Amino acid sequence: MSAFDFFDDIWCIHHAAYPARWAVMQARLTRLGIGGRVRRFPFVPSPADERIGRALSHRRIVQDAAERGLRSVLAIEDETLFLDRTEEVLAGAAAELRGRAWRLLHLGTWRGSDGLAAEPGCAHLRQTGGRAGPHAVAYGAAVFADLLARMPMNFGAMQEYLGANGSIDAILDGLGPAFVVHPAVATVPFSLPFQEPADQQRFVP
Amino acid sequence: MSHPRIFVHIPAYRDRECQWTLRDMFERARHPDRVFAGVCWQTDPVEDTDCFLIRPCPAQVRTANFHIREARGLGWARAKAQSLWQGEEYSLQIDSHMRFADDWDEQMIDLLAACDSPDPVLTLYPASYQPPDTRENFDRPRVQMIRRFLPNGLLEFGTEPVPDGAPADRPMPTAAVAGAFIVGSARILRDAPSDPDIYFNGEEPNLAVRLWTAGFDLFSPHVTVLYHYYLRKDGARHWNDAISRETQELTARTLRRLRLLCEPEAFPPEEVAELGRYGLGTRRSLAEYEAFAGVSFTARSIASQARSYPWVRPATVRDALALPDTLGPAPGTQLFVLGEEGVLFAEEKGTLHRLNQAAARNWCALEAGWGSERIAADAAAARGITTDAAMAELRELAAHWIGEGLLRDTAAAPATGPRLDPARFAFRCRDYRLLDTVVRLRFGDATLEALIHPAFAHLQVDSAGSTPAATLTMVRILDWHYIFAGDEMLLLADTPRKLVPKLKAEVMARAINRHDHVLHLHSAAVMHAGRLVLFPAGSGNGKTLLAARLLSLGCEYFSDEAVLLRRDGTVRPIQAALSVKTGGLEALEPHFPGLSALPEHDREDGVTVHYLPPPRERLPPPGRTARPAVVVFPRYEPGAAPRLRPVPPADALGRLLDECLAIPRRLDTEAVATIVETVERASCWELVTGELDAAARQVMALAEQAG
């Protein structure tokens, strides 16, 4: 039994331009005990602007989940690092989520989770307050329809949409209340120096 | 429109190809009866009879004929050709040496209809052909785009392929124009006709700005409809037949007209009015074009958006830009008022941004905390424009300033930097001086310090108590290495080998930006026998090898890769460590024992280098400056015996400018005089190098012989 069993499906979005990342990522997922469960989702190519490919990849994962009638799906990007006590923290967060009509659950943010408002009665859930991060985010069924209606499905339209709305972070922030796991259990190398200082060395490379 | 007609206007200067161009045009058209041409012929009736071997469809070809002595350049000839229009619905501008795709007429009209615009114009440097009819198609659809500002201030255009994965199934927006192919409604001939005072270079930026401000949307077609003969080495040119003084005057007039068009605030209104019908359009503002294209004509800067696909800013972004009333100057941004204009100084980047009168007024209002509506109303009243137009200008200006990091929303969450716990990182600082700039390096641990410091050690200074111009922080967290400048992450690397090259580039950039100079050359420099020798050359021509070997022979070290020519014609040493590529180690190791054992570093261009600190005894005394006495253009040919040949001053000037990396501000007469005088005074040579020692000794002999 794994805390990740809380999610009906898990995808790892892998960018074909960085083949080495996949083996590293598989090792990380295996350490978490979910190596056999996570499927590879090919990053939608968008060489001139990765924001487009990132947004389209997330959208297609959500579309797949919606079409299959899942209750939730977790999307992990292929550079994600996990905290050394991810299992324990995520299990606590999952327990606190049960019974709530949650929409988005971020496993980490660009700047950790300290300083964010705690969800009443919860030790492991905080409100994102506009500080989300797309590198490890779970989508609940309650957000599927809204997200699919807002985010265009083809390249050109997504380019225009991002032009007007910024990055996927801003789009996710616009989807309403969201939670972030506390302490943040996922990050990426780019945002590692911005995480809580006490946790920076506790992510596993 | 049931039977649209196309008017094709062509300037032909003694071009034999033109007759074949016309024949191909009619033969390949789907509806040749709906195609009409206007040709401005400029020929010598005696010498150019072979321009008229055939006369295709004479009833549909109108001509304006001139002797070559009457010719006044490209813009003039295009205007003459355009004057032959007789009401056709479409206008196609081309050159006189072109080939056409099958059904090109129908294809162009279909492509225009496929553009997402009520007033589209298609434009693109065409694919290539060679006479009689060898055609080369593009591998990928290409888009016209902005490449750079030339030293004379003209905007240069080029084409780039659409990246793999990006859709290319319809015409693509562009802010650039190709003079050899412009097609759209015949409104072009009314609202953006060719300016007869544009001699040659300058036509394309002139038309880009005028077409766009006249309300036309520019697109590059995703399919090939035209071919151009680019390799016309034997073709006649006006500037070869005209007297040099005349072409110089025409060129000078072109540059002035471009400035009147693109920098109108710099001239009295009566001078701008000289442009008449060849001025800006009336449907959009120049500021809107600048925002769309990502260029600033006054600052001669090109924004990052213009560097990557799709090269222009979509309208949705421009219109969506909110202007909160809490916009204010970013920290470290300072306005200096110059009369009614101003200059913004961004301290962290060390960059200057010139503001014209209107922009300076807007900036002051933002500084004073005025809301956008009040600023727009004030500008509208002051300048006699509508509030909407003033607001649009303000929005574009603000977008540019935000993009440049000069302006920010002061109410937004404060920018938050890395969270580097001093208790975990044993930070140690060292200060290094390059030119007059002191940069502080802050090492997160002793390992980083041991790796980085040796490449900068010869620049170290004790600047206790003074404030460095910048502080760069290096840390390692888990398997990753980072460089920060304040809150800004400059580098994220998975290996420490990338740290020193990035730091060297950052330190040099800060030093160079703060140093007053008129020309920044990609060049090495050493001093021998009291004479300064420059080696301007691109990467891979052996300039570092040559400089290093000369140091070992006793020369003074001035620079490895950057030379800054100052207004007084002198150069100061920039003594950063020499970047020796792996291939140069064997040649230099005997002269610098231990060089091969120095750490390897990976540059951003993928080249592995060793950083060779210059020997202390080869560093010039403080305050040393020198005028270049010898300029050697090195060219590396493995194994070749050194060959030396003099380079005439005019050629040397051109080659020097080819190696020019930046001109920090608009050149004025004094600055140009400095550059010209430098070339005139120096003896200039091309040196083919292959035998390092022999080449070095030849350079030393040149320095010894220089007057």
DSSP for B425-472 reads S--EEEEEEETTEEEEEEESSHHHHHHHHHHHGGGEE--TTSPPSEEE
Tokens standing for residue B546 = 């040559």
Tokens standing for residue B362 = 């807007």
**What is the nearest CA distance from A166 to chain B, expressed in angstroms?**
9
pLDDT at A164: 75
**Cis peptide, bond prior to residue A183, ω within 30 of zero:** yes
**Do B166 and A48 count as a contact with CB atoms less than 8 A apart?**
yes
Question: What does each C-alpha distance from B567 to A145, B561, B676 come to in angstroms?
Answer: 65, 20, 12
Task: Choose among B365, B190, B394, B183: nearest CA to B285.
Answer: B394
Q: List the domain boundaries for chain B.
A: 6-244, 319-409, 428-512, 516-705
**Do A197 and B419 count as a contact with CB atoms less than 8 A apart?**
yes
Tokens standing for residue A15 = 């960018």
Which of B305, B311, B312, B477 to mutate to test binding with chain A, by most A CBs within 10 Å of its CB? B477
Strands annotated E in chain A = 9-14, 39-42, 72-77, 81-83, 104-106, 125-127, 136-140, 178-181, 186-187, 203-204
**Do A46 and B475 count as a contact with CB atoms less than 8 A apart?**
no
pLDDT at B317: 40
Beta carbons of A71 and A125 less than 8 angstroms apart:
no
User: Per-residue pLDDT averaged across A3-13, rounded?
Assistant: 96
Tokens standing for residue A98 = 């049960």
Tokens standing for residue A56 = 């389209």
Question: What does each C-alpha distance from B455 to B67, B507, B620 come to in angstroms?
Answer: 65, 12, 18
B412: contact with A, CB 8 A cutoff? no
- Of the candidates A159, A190, A201, the beta carbon closest to that of B478 is on A201
Beta carbons of B332 and B346 less than 8 angstroms apart:
yes
Lowest mean pLDDT among A38-42, A55-59, B134-138, B655-659: B655-659
B167: contact with A, CB 8 A cutoff? yes
pLDDT at B262: 94
Strand bridging mode A104-106 / A178-181 = parallel
Residue of B nearest to A52 (CA): B166
Angle between helices B357-367 and B372-383 (to 10 degrees): 150
Domain covering B6-244, topology: Spore Coat Polysaccharide Biosynthesis Protein SpsA; Chain A (3.90.550)
H or E segment and range at residue B520:
strand B519-528
Beta carbons of B254 and B196 less than 8 angstroms apart:
no
**Do B489 and A193 count as a contact with CB atoms less than 8 A apart?**
yes
Contacts of B506 (CB under 8 A, 6+ apart): B439, B472, B483, B485, B490
**Do B480 and A203 count as a contact with CB atoms less than 8 A apart?**
no
Residue of A nearest to B313 (CA): A163
Per the domain annotation, does A154 fall within a domain? yes
Distance between CA atoms of residues A115 and A131, nearest Å: 11
The label of the residue with tokens 């590529």 reads: B581
Distance between CA atoms of residues B212 and B208, nearest Å: 6
Distance between CA atoms of residues B41 and A14, nearest Å: 60
Beta carbons of B473 and B429 less than 8 angstroms apart:
no
Torsion of CA B59, B47, B45, B42, to 10 degrees: 70
Domain count along chain A: 1
Going by the DSSP 8-state scheme, the letter that residue B129 receives in this structure is: E
**Do B484 and A193 count as a contact with CB atoms less than 8 A apart?**
yes
Q: What is the mean pLDDT of chain A?
A: 90
Distance between CA atoms of residues A11 and A75, nearest Å: 5
Task: Choose among B312, B287, B296: nearest CA to B352.
Answer: B296
Length of chain A: 205
The torsion region of residue A185 among left (phi > 0), alpha (psi -120 to 50) and beta comes to alpha
Domain covering B516-705, topology: Rossmann fold (3.40.50)
pLDDT at B316: 42
Question: What does each C-alpha distance from B498 to B594, B598, B636 come to in angstroms?
Answer: 21, 15, 27
pLDDT at B349: 63
The torsion region of residue A143 among left (phi > 0), alpha (psi -120 to 50) and beta comes to alpha
In this prediction, residue A103 has a pLDDT band, given cuts at 50, 70 and 90, of very high
**Do B492 and A159 count as a contact with CB atoms less than 8 A apart?**
no
Tokens standing for residue B38 = 């206007």
Higher pLDDT, B360 or A72: A72
Distance between CA atoms of residues B589 and B617, nearest Å: 18
Tokens standing for residue B166 = 């990006």
The whole domain housing A140 covers 3-188
The angle subtended at Cα B280 by Cα B108 and Cα B94, nearest 5°, is 30
pLDDT at B319: 45
Helix, strand or coil for residue B628?
A: strand
Which of A44, A187, A194, A195 to mutate to test binding with chain B, by most B CBs within 10 Å of its CB? A194
B414: contact with A, CB 8 A cutoff? no
H or E segment and range at residue B134:
strand B134-136
H helix intervals, B178-231: 187-191, 203-213
Task: Choose among B531, B623, B549: nearest CA to B586.
Answer: B549
Other C-beta atoms closer than 10 Å to the C-beta of B617 total 9
B478: contact with A, CB 8 A cutoff? yes
- A interface with B, Cβ–Cβ < 8 A, is 45-49, 53, 81, 111-112, 130, 155-156, 159-160, 163-164, 189-190, 192-198, 200-201, 203, 205
Other C-beta atoms closer than 10 Å to the C-beta of B466 total 11
Distance between CA atoms of residues B142 and B138, nearest Å: 7
The label of the residue with tokens 């007469």 reads: B669
The angle subtended at Cα A84 by Cα A83 and Cα A85, nearest 5°, is 90
**What is the nearest CA distance from B319 to chain A, expressed in angstroms?**
9
Strand bridging mode B683-689 / B628-636 = parallel
B307: contact with A, CB 8 A cutoff? no
Domain covering B319-409, topology: Outer Surface Protein A; domain 3 (3.90.930)
> What is the domain-level CATH number for residue A167?
3.90.550
- Pick out chain B residues at pLDDT < 50: 1, 316-321
Distance between CA atoms of residues B66 and B557, nearest Å: 59
H helix intervals, B234-356: 238-241, 244-262, 269-272, 286-293, 315-320
B418: contact with A, CB 8 A cutoff? yes
| pLDDT > 70: percent of chain B | 93
pLDDT at B392: 74
